[in-house]
Amino acid sequence: MKIGALISGRGSNLPTLFEAMESPDYPAEVVVVISNRPDAPGLDVAAKAGIPTATVDHKAYDSREAFEADVQKVLVEHGVELVITPGFMRILTNTFVEQWPQRIVNIHPSLLPSFPGRHVHEQALAAGVKLSGCTVHFAVPEVDAGPIIGQAVVPVHDDDTPEVLAARVMQAEHKLLPHCLALVAEGRVHIEGNRTIVEAAPGVFEEINPAL
């Protein structure tokens, strides 16, 4: 399955995804990385891995629709079948999401539906939760919503700062995203309403979630 990645910054999930792609039996391939910021470090990460890159600077457009039209052109030019948005800091319009029904996958640094939006780790610490984590889900027009493909859990310690917790969650993201994309690419994820039925071998998610 050909994947297009939309990023805005470091693209911290890209290296482990590229590493997974090196396996001959991995069922997905990132064919283009698109950034809405010309200075995004993730573009260099992709280029060093030999992945084609493109910049569609949102500041050069008068509307989100015009910006997304050019993003769409790049995706189509590269034959993209599935879009992922790891660290993409632009809210996609309903029109764009509806062009890719059940074909946009997002990763969010909380256990959705808890703590959507921004300042996620500050929200988690303020709420006093003992567990946090990350969620991979299909994107829908509503922000940080949509059928959940998989989640990874991490502990929250009493002395955590938002930065420390973010680093722990990011480590979980690096394991979860490649795994979930493989399940989607292999046709093992079936959507029923606002939930998914995932065909996976017993113990797979336990490997990602040592706390379970």
pLDDT digits (tens, 9 = 90+) for 41-79: 999 999 999 999 999 999 999 999 999 999 999 999 999
So what's the pLDDT on residue 199? Answer: 87
The span from the CA of 19 to the CA of 91, in Å, is 28
- Asked if the peptide bond before residue 24 counts as cis, ω within 30 degrees of 0, the response is no
So what's the pLDDT on residue 212? Answer: 46
| Residue 136 · residue 106 · CB < 8 Å | yes
Residue type, 37: R
pLDDT digits (tens, 9 = 90+) for 110-139: 999 999 999 999 999 999 999 999 999 999
Three-state DSSP at 59 gives helix
Q: Which among 108, 121, 174, 179 is annotated as catalytic?
A: 108
Token code pair at residue 85: 């948005």
Can you list the alpha helix ranges (DSSP code H) found in the chain? Answer: 14-21, 41-48, 64-77, 94-99, 120-127, 162-185, 204-208
Active site annotation includes 108: yes
CATH no. for 106-212: 3.40.50.170
The span from the CA of 162 to the CA of 58, in Å, is 29
Report the sign of the C-alpha dihedral through residues 64, 70, 74, 79, in that order.
positive
Question: Cβ contacts of residue 166 below 8 Å, gap of 6+?
Answer: 109, 121
CATH no. for 1-100: 3.40.50.170
As annotated, the residues of the chain forming the CATH 3.40.50.170 domain(s) are 1-100, 106-212
Q: Model confidence at 205, in pLDDT bands (50, 70, 90)?
A: low
pTM above 0.85, yes or no: yes
Token code pair at residue 108: 């969010």
